[in-house]
Amino acid sequence: MARSHAISLCLVSALWTLFLYSIPAPAAEPPWLEVHSAHFTVITDAGEKKGREVALRFEQMRSVFATLLTKERLNQSVPLTILAFKNDKSYYQVAPLRQGQPIDVPGFFLPGEDQDFIVLNLFEEESWRAVAHDFAGMLLNYNYPPAQGWFDEGLAEYFSSIRVDNKQVEIGSDPELRPSVTENLLGNQQETHPPKSLTELLGAQVWLPLPDLFTMKHDPSTRNQASHHTLYYAESWIVMHYLLHQQKLPETGAYFDLVLNQHVPVEEAIQKAYGMSSAQLEQAVKDYFHAQTALLTAVDAARQTAASPANATGPGQTYRFPVPVGPDDMAITSKPLPEADERALYAEVAIRIPERRDVGLQELHALAAAPTAADKKFESKKEEKRPGEDPDLLPTNAIGSPLAHRILAWDHIQHGEFEEASTELADAAALNQRDMWLRYYLSVLKYRIAQSKHADIQGLPNMMLDLRAVLEWYPEMAGAYDLLAVARNEGGSTPAAMQAEHAAINLSPRDELYTYHLAQIYVASKKWEAAQILLDRLKASSNPQIVALARELLERSGAERKYGIPLGAGTLPQAKLAPQKSPFDVLEEDAAKRDAAEKAAQSAGPEDRRATKFLKGRLVAVDCSQAPAAILTVTAESATLKLRAADYKSLLLIGADDFSCAWRDRQVTVNYKPGGSTNGDLVSLEMR
């Protein structure tokens, strides 16, 4: 019996082992994924589910911010990439350092001239909330005209209170002072009882007079100063809380127009815009705050006990509403990301953080020097010509990660190392000719070289073609529009330059360099008064470089206007740089053909010297019966205009992705040239 029992046990064990091995193993998920939503790219090692969740949360936050600004559409004038790490180790090895230690918040934002980055630690719950303040600031820069500091900080603080899941959005509660933020606000001072919330700060201190708050010069670096500026942020928050919940953003826009554009004193501007004195507005905000303090405290206490306050839906209270974008409302795709690309992106973030830069550069140089599997495959099949490529023309020494070469090229450009940048761009192009970033970086390189040498841009026709390709790839790239405007202006096509620069400013209205370039175009067009207005505004900039450029251009344009000749005319010609051949030239038509095509595009028809007029009104109807031409009927006050778009497919659109012949009853802003076969010819159309 004992032996029989032992045999039975062995048989059961063997059968159980066989059963376990017969179960198919789950497919191994790629360690790194590249997840794409409508507006964001997420790079993550936390799996597809988490990657999709991160993309969805940022799409939701973006949609909520558009609602706050009452905009149907937001601009993202440089691409945003989100790196989301599944554990602390990867995150803290790249996070910025504060007093020698990594920051203690689970996310940070890295702005850039070419692209923006957000880095998250997904080990922490709702890590995206750590970057909500900076995310709001980024969207403000791309979607709202220049404003005063209290507006920017107040709106960003308000937005940082956001909480969102798959069903509901909550916004408007006290944003809380996170430990690192509190430390910054208090200038690293040690207090016995540091404030825990903005509500507590406002209840414990005497408020700044409203005119003082509105006129205080704001610089984000002042966040590390002490309690006076702590009150500044808290009071800015409650003022914006009041304006948003009392639906006074239109009045606020009128206030900024009076103060910033018409230079009306603050007291008078408040009276005209809000219909009350500064003292009355201040008292209204205080009354609002005191009425809501009990509720805001209850919301915070309820959250800590995982309960919900009974009534939180009235004016001035926490907003709760269904999510504008749910998991089933958008297409989110994912694909595996090669290890070399993941390492290169990690290093790219590192080199943009001063204290991490050296380690990041070491990694990038190692990736750029190491042959990849693709390199080996290319060498073994070099005789095989792939579509659109000529292997015989590619440098044989181009090895390594094309992404690493591209990142190094941008870093060299940023540091004025132009020869090294050109080499890295050529190597990157040899390995991946379809990378549109290379065309953009090459255009920036040509511009920077010309600026450093005070010379003309070399390879101008190729540069303009490259920039057009970039804008087809990423239509909201404000920097590409700006460079295209500079190139067109230098090439003598000032109307086309003006159109491109206006597009850049619409996509990034706070970039003062774009405004300066528009002033240059006005000077080239001899539009002296328009240039004077812009340059006078730039002279008041907080950026000393912009101030110096504005003053120099004012002096030069004044002399040119007075004497009728450009300043410096008759002197020795400026030095010319040797032509810079594009790495892409081997893949495109002969340079002479490209030059001829560009010149033909610029010289098609006589230059239109009609003055451009501006009109806000209502689009009543669109007639596309003569497509591709379209006739738009626009009403403004008692006037009705028929405006013609010669080709609506190429019309400059703002606030809409595509032209629609079905548009009716829409608020619009138009730029047009009066006359022609109708009341005027459209230059641009903005949907409001």
The residue among 422, 432, 426 whose CA lies nearest residue 341 is 432
Mapping DSSP to helix (H, G, I), strand (E, B) and coil, where does residue 277 land?
coil
* Claim to verify: residue 300 and residue 183 sit in the same structural domain: yes
- The pLDDT score that the predictor gives to residue 192 is 46
The residue among 674, 675, 671 whose CA lies nearest residue 683 is 671
391 falls in which pLDDT band (50, 70, 90)?
A: very low
**Range with the poorest average pLDDT among 342-356, 465-479, 652-666:** 652-666
DSSP state of 631: E
- The pLDDT score that the predictor gives to residue 261 is 86
147 falls in which pLDDT band (50, 70, 90)?
A: very high
- The pLDDT score that the predictor gives to residue 321 is 86
H/E segment holding residue 84:
strand 80-85
CA dist., res. 115 & res. 40, Å (int) = 12
- The pLDDT score that the predictor gives to residue 392 is 34
Phi-psi region of 126 (alpha: psi -120 to 50; beta: other; left: phi over 0): left
312 falls in which pLDDT band (50, 70, 90)?
A: very low
607, pLDDT greater than 60: no
* Claim to verify: residue 349 and residue 413 sit in the same structural domain: yes
Mapping DSSP to helix (H, G, I), strand (E, B) and coil, where does residue 452 land?
helix
Q: What is the mean pLDDT of the chain?
A: 81
* Claim to verify: residue 333 and residue 306 sit in the same structural domain: no
25 falls in which pLDDT band (50, 70, 90)?
A: very low
**Range with the poorest average pLDDT among 18-32, 166-180, 449-463:** 18-32
Q: Containing domain of residue 108, as a range?
A: 28-143+329-337
Residue 10 in domain: no
- The pLDDT score that the predictor gives to residue 457 is 93
* Claim to verify: residue 215 and residue 262 sit in the same structural domain: yes
Backbone angles phi, psi at 48, to 5 degrees: -65, -40
Over residues 330-348, the mean pLDDT reads: 94
* Claim to verify: residue 349 and residue 333 sit in the same structural domain: no
* Claim to verify: residue 265 and residue 304 sit in the same structural domain: yes
Pull the structure tokens for residue 267: 């007291």
26, pLDDT greater than 70: no
Across 411-447, b (16+ Cβ under 10 Å) vs e yields bbbbeeebeebbbbbbbbbbbbbebbbbbbbbbbbbb
DSSP state of 259: I
* Claim to verify: residue 295 and residue 177 sit in the same structural domain: yes
Backbone angles phi, psi at 169, to 5 degrees: -110, 140
Output the pTM of the full model: 0.75
Tens of pLDDT, residue by residue over 58-92, are 999 999 999 999 998 899 999 999 999 999 999 99
CA dist., res. 602 & res. 25, Å (int) = 62
Over residues 307-329, the mean pLDDT reads: 63
* Claim to verify: residue 354 and residue 333 sit in the same structural domain: no
Domain end among 434, 452, 479: 434
CA atoms 652, 655, 657, 658: torsion sign: negative
H/E segment holding residue 42:
strand 41-44
pLDDT over 90 for what percent of the chain? 56
Question: What are the Cα distances from residue 240, in Å, to 140, 199, 248, 262, 289?
Answer: 14, 14, 9, 23, 11
* Claim to verify: residue 182 and residue 280 sit in the same structural domain: yes
- The pLDDT score that the predictor gives to residue 293 is 76
* Claim to verify: residue 409 and residue 292 sit in the same structural domain: no
* Claim to verify: residue 200 and residue 298 sit in the same structural domain: yes
Tens of pLDDT, residue by residue over 392-414, are 334 446 789 999 999 999 999 99
**Range with the poorest average pLDDT among 25-29, 315-319, 410-414:** 25-29
- The pLDDT score that the predictor gives to residue 498 is 95
* Claim to verify: residue 283 and residue 361 sit in the same structural domain: no
- The pLDDT score that the predictor gives to residue 342 is 95
- The pLDDT score that the predictor gives to residue 372 is 63
CA atoms 66, 507, 631, 675: torsion sign: positive
- The pLDDT score that the predictor gives to residue 412 is 97
Whether 104 contacts 83, CB under 8 Å: no
The residue type of 50 is K
Residue 362 in domain: yes
The residue among 567, 85, 66, 673 whose CA lies nearest residue 346 is 85
CA dist., res. 56 & res. 40, Å (int) = 9
Mapping DSSP to helix (H, G, I), strand (E, B) and coil, where does residue 562 land?
helix
- The pLDDT score that the predictor gives to residue 333 is 94
Pull the structure tokens for residue 641: 């205009």
| End-to-end CA, the chain | 90
